[in-house]
Amino acid sequence: MKKVVVLGHGTVGSGVVELVERNKEYLMDKYQQEFAITGILVRNLEKHLGKGKDHLLTDSFENLLEQKPDIAVEVMGGIQPARTYVKTLLDLGVSVVTANKDLIAEHGLELLQAAQAGGAVLHFEASVGGGIPVIKPFRESLKGNRIRSIIGIMNGTTNFILSKMYDEDLSYGESLRLAQDAGFAEADPTSDVKGYDAARKLAILSSIAFDKAISWQHMGCEGVQDVQPFDVANARAVHCKIKLLAIALRSGHNIHCSVRPALVDKHSFLGHIDGENNAIEIEGDAVGKVMFTGAGAGKLPTASAVYGDLLDVLSEKANGILPLNSDVDYQLIPYYNAPTQWLVRLRVNHIQDTVDLILSSFSDHSLQLHHLNSKDNLFFLVDTEDERQLLQKLAPLQGSSSVEELRHFLIYR
């Protein structure tokens, strides 16, 4: 019997306890083993009393350690005290399963090293994509590949908001309120809508894929809070939808990582990922492109990923993810480093002068110019070799007195 302690008893923590209890017979039949939850750490005892688990509850981490657990499940979230607790457990040789993307994105390297030194394992499938199995494929079925790219919709809140803006012609503010009413957005949605949540998830995946510790704070990160209804209308005019994409590209010794609102063909696979759902596309040099999609959050989907990691620990499956190499010779670059098409949107005070500048800057490029009956929404499509070339071509426009605002959107097809 493996003694399991759970740190945190919110939505995901209660889901983990439910799955452990639900699967007792299956576990015994399949593995001739069982999990026994011997303690649940909570911050506020009174809040959780009377819900059927009173005999397991404690607000003392030391009390959990006294139980000499075999495995700990950390689902309390945040950096501290989770970092201290997880590090202490790993140092003691206690294997840890966590769903904490903030913790792994900020301190994953340190904790993987602690697990290795302590003879424990650290699993964190649920830290990215909720119930979508995406980390485990990197260390199993895809490990024979050199990963070329990771591109996906990794935040359900912003996908819900953008879907509402597209489907129902709502403003950003109206769509955010609907997301909050439906429980998909927090009262303070900053981490989601500014792209930080997706960036942390991308940092975890790209670090594993490229074997280099990549900080989300070193990525370009642009959220959805400034997406306007006319941006959605522009996307619709060119048969696309706007999605918040998390993007990691490797080309030679260069890696580009960013989170940004981008356009996707409405008939493409990503174009059909709406509402709170997530999707992650991975391209390897051998397998080509593979797609993982499903519920990116929620009580039982996330608990499902945690439970799968618990089974891996039970079957003594090793990490498969060694401490990442901070010295790998990759250069993190700020611009999208592949040929693609862009939508450039402008707000101008003199259309003809602006058009002349556009034609001059992009004289050697295939150009599709659009004017939607307003100086506040002039946009064009252009193909370039990479984002750096685009920015060079846009420099005269950004410095022109005729242009009041300029924004560019990547088009991913």
305: in domain: no
Looking at the structure, tell me whether residues 35 and 118 fall in a common domain: yes
CATH no. for residue 351?
A: 3.30.70.260
Can you give the pLDDT at residue 263? 98
Looking at the structure, tell me whether residues 153 and 103 fall in a common domain: no
298: in domain: no
44: in domain: yes
pTM of the model: 0.92
Looking at the structure, tell me whether residues 255 and 117 fall in a common domain: no
| Number of domains the chain is built from | 3
Average pLDDT over residues 314-328: 65
Count of C-beta atoms within a 10 Å radius of residue 219? 24
Average pLDDT over residues 90-107: 96
CATH no. for residue 76?
A: 3.40.50.720
Looking at the structure, tell me whether residues 119 and 147 fall in a common domain: no
313: in domain: no
Long-range contacts: 101-104, Cβ < 8 Å, 24+? Answer: 101/127, 101/128, 101/197, 101/200, 101/201, 101/204, 102/77, 102/78, 102/200, 103/74, 103/78, 103/79, 103/127, 104/204
Looking at the structure, tell me whether residues 174 and 272 fall in a common domain: yes
Confidence of residue 314 (pLDDT cuts 50, 70, 90): confident
Question: What are residue 255's DSSP bridge partners?
Answer: 250, 332
Average pLDDT over residues 25-39: 89
318: in domain: no
Q: Which residues are catalytic?
A: 201
CATH no. for residue 184?
A: 3.30.360.10
Looking at the structure, tell me whether residues 164 and 279 fall in a common domain: yes
301: in domain: no
Q: What are phi and psi of 379, to 5 degrees?
A: -140, 155
Q: Could you tell me the residue range of the domain that residue 357 belongs to?
A: 340-412
Looking at the structure, tell me whether residues 73 and 205 fall in a common domain: no
Looking at the structure, tell me whether residues 202 and 229 fall in a common domain: yes
131: in domain: no
In 3-state terms, what secondary structure has residue 338? coil
Looking at the structure, tell me whether residues 116 and 146 fall in a common domain: no
Looking at the structure, tell me whether residues 96 and 181 fall in a common domain: no
Domain boundary among 333, 361, 393: 333
Can you give the pLDDT at residue 267? 96
Can you give the pLDDT at residue 365? 78
Domain boundary among 93, 123, 153: 123
Count of C-beta atoms within a 10 Å radius of residue 277? 19
In whole numbers, what is the pLDDT of the chain averaged over residues? 92
Looking at the structure, tell me whether residues 95 and 193 fall in a common domain: no
Choose among 234, 261, 257, 231: nearest CA to 245: 261
Per the CB < 8 A criterion, the answer to whether 256 and 248 are in contact is: yes
Is pLDDT above 90 for 262?
Answer: yes
Looking at the structure, tell me whether residues 101 and 161 fall in a common domain: no
Can you give the pLDDT at residue 330? 81
Per the CB < 8 A criterion, the answer to whether 367 and 410 are in contact is: no
Q: How do residues 201-221 score in pLDDT, each as one tens digit?
A: 999 999 999 988 899 999 999
d(CA 219, CA 246): 10
311: in domain: no
